[in-house]
Structure 1
């Protein structure tokens, strides 16, 4: 088998694992049915990944790569608060569209993975040893830094503030995935947006300024 063919089989297995995870849950991630889905032998899982634990690690990496791409796709508006708020909405959208993958990425499902939890943000300034996870988080750090530079919020450590916003958003989306806020997006209006506004006000932004940026973002269809 050529290297190109090997890469193709490997990617097909990885894509199939993500699809099965979302459609049937983590219990469906087993070597034999996964290989059958891409018309490969069970041995292909071991040849290309070493085994199911390693494949799950790669699914986690793939999840963070897709998450990174989602956040990277948020357009810059010229308003640092709009950009920061838009990242929060993109975060929510990714989690709601990929709930099983999102939970796996953060080790909140069985079978699970520890790949996303190997570093301490409070001491290392980085949440993960996975470059894809670091890149995803850095979109938020960069947006916070721009909001500080433009005088919209006040903070000495953009990484710490990004961690606060991340923590709030992560907790919210897990509750929304669980159905706590219903299935019609009510929580976005009643909980997530007010929570982020309050957090930004606590960081020195005026409520009127944040609400005006929120209105501009909504008016732009974001």
Structure 2
């Protein structure tokens, strides 16, 4: 390995270290209470080192947000082998729950922290990753309609309803709003909620 290759690897390792620290602190302390100095202290480097890689904490959170959506987008790959669009849509619901509960920190960054969306107001680029994932869902619903499902449905509105319902099930659990139920009952009710949505979609 040449000198330039080693330097590039070391640069990428430092960038990853900064991002991992930022993610930990954002989730532990919240966006407002996390500072560049705090991240620097956590990795035992000076704040100046952070600024060599990222402009500010907005950019740090934005990059983490993008990465989370790229990972989430892989759920669509897990249903690609299924034969019909409707089968893919149904399985995608289960994959959504599995992703959220297996990766609660990523889900928090994607959907439950407000700061990533606020950074878009001061950036020139478009939120491509989130947009691509959402419109992949909308395209799948449109394909279901072409197969004969949802004949009289407005595809964008139905897509939003599907996403909002599954997101709501996840959020109730991750934000601990199901404390009136036992752990076993929580899981049963969340899975039952998704199953009920599927039955509604089948009858649509």
Place the TM-score, normalised by the shorter chain, in its bin.
0.7 to 0.9
What per-residue deviation string (whole Å, max 9, x for no partner) do you get for residues 136-180 of structure 1?
Answer: 112312321221111133255433321111111111110122341
SS of 2:148's partner is coil
Q: 1:139 aligns with which of 126, 136, 139?
A: 136
How far does the alpha carbon of each residue in 1:35-92 deviate from its partner, in whole angstroms, 9 at most, with x for none? 4555543323222111222211211111111111233333331133221011111111
1:124 aligns with none
In structure 1, how many angstroms separate the alpha carbons of the residues matched to 2:103 and 2:43? 21
Q: CA deviation at 1:29?
A: 4.6
> Which residue number corresponds to residue 49 of structure 1?
54
Q: Does 1:188 align with 2:195?
A: no
Matched residues, number: 190
Q: Retained in 1: the 8 A contact 2:58–2:119?
A: no
Q: TM-score, normalised by structure 1?
A: 0.69
Q: What do the CA deviations read for 1:2-23 (whole angstroms, capped 9, x no partner)?
A: 555433322332234335556x
Partner of 1:160: 157
Structure 2 unaligned runs (5+)?
Answer: none
Stretch moving more, 67-76 or 132-141? 67-76
SS at match of 1:74: coil
Superposition map of 1:1-222 within 5 A: 2-19=7-24, 24=28, 26=30, 29-35=34-40, 38=43, 40-106=45-111, 108-109=112-113, 112-114=115-117, 129-155=126-152, 157-179=154-176, 180=178, 182-184=182-184, 185-201=187-203, 204=204
Question: 1:188 offset after TM fit, Å?
Answer: 3.2
Give RMSD over aligned pairs.
Answer: 3.1
Contact 1:10–1:48 (8 Å) recurs in 2: yes
Identify unmatched segments of 5+ residues in structure 1: 119-127, 205-222
How far apart, in 1, do the equivalents of 2:103 and 2:164 lie? Answer: 18
SS of residue in 2 equivalent to 1:50? coil
- Residues 117 and 53 of structure 1: CA distance in aligned 2, closer, same or farther (over 3 Å): closer
User: Structure 1 residues 183, 140: closer, same or farther in 2, change over 3 A?
Assistant: farther
SS in 2 for 1:175: helix
After superposition, the Cα gap between the structure-2 partners of 1:132 and 1:72, relative to the gap in structure 1 and judged at 3 Å, is: farther
TM superposition score normalised by structure 2: 0.75
Write out per-residue CA displacement over residues 107-150 of structure 1, whole angstroms, 9 at most, x where no aligned residue: x347x3325886xxxxxxxxx93111112112312321221111
